[in-house]
Amino acid sequence: MKNTPPGTMVHDTEAVIGALLRAGVIAAAAVVALGGVIYLLRHGSAAADYRIFHRQPPEFSDVGGIIGQVFSGRGRGMIQLGLLMLIATPVARVAFSVFAFARQKDRLYVAITLAVLSILIYSLLGR
């Protein structure tokens, strides 16, 4: 891309980011929908009891547990995985932006975007 006009690289980056966000949301929605169908097929006739609060089972409190539930074919695990994918989509956008700004040799935006990415990762992983 040595002879490309400066605006073209920015437009290409925006197009890739848009495609990344669309793909992430569509994939997350598909996983949630599939998990919902599986859950309803197995538990659709069960009556809900909202008088007593039932805490989230421990296997849904971390990524490893959710992945284990998905490989067990559980609908709730697939729904949780889809929600994790939905949360990861904007994080992936920020991570891609770091590389895009680095490719444009924009050090200020690389530093700012790395700071945002580190805050996002800390907030997701830190307790």
Give the ranges where the chain is alpha helix by DSSP (H).
6-43, 63-71, 75-103, 107-125
Exposed e or buried b per residue across 75-92, where buried means at least 16 C-beta atoms within 10 angstroms of its C-beta: bbbbbbbbebbbeebebe
Give pLDDT tens digits along the chain (127 positions): 455 555 566 778 889 999 999 999 999 999 999 999 999 999 888 887 788 888 888 888 888 889 999 999 899 999 999 999 999 999 999 999 999 999 989 999 999 999 999 999 998 887 5
Instruction: In whole angstroms, give the CA distance from residue 7 to residue 5.
Output: 6
Residue 92 phi/psi, 5-degree rounding, is -65, -35
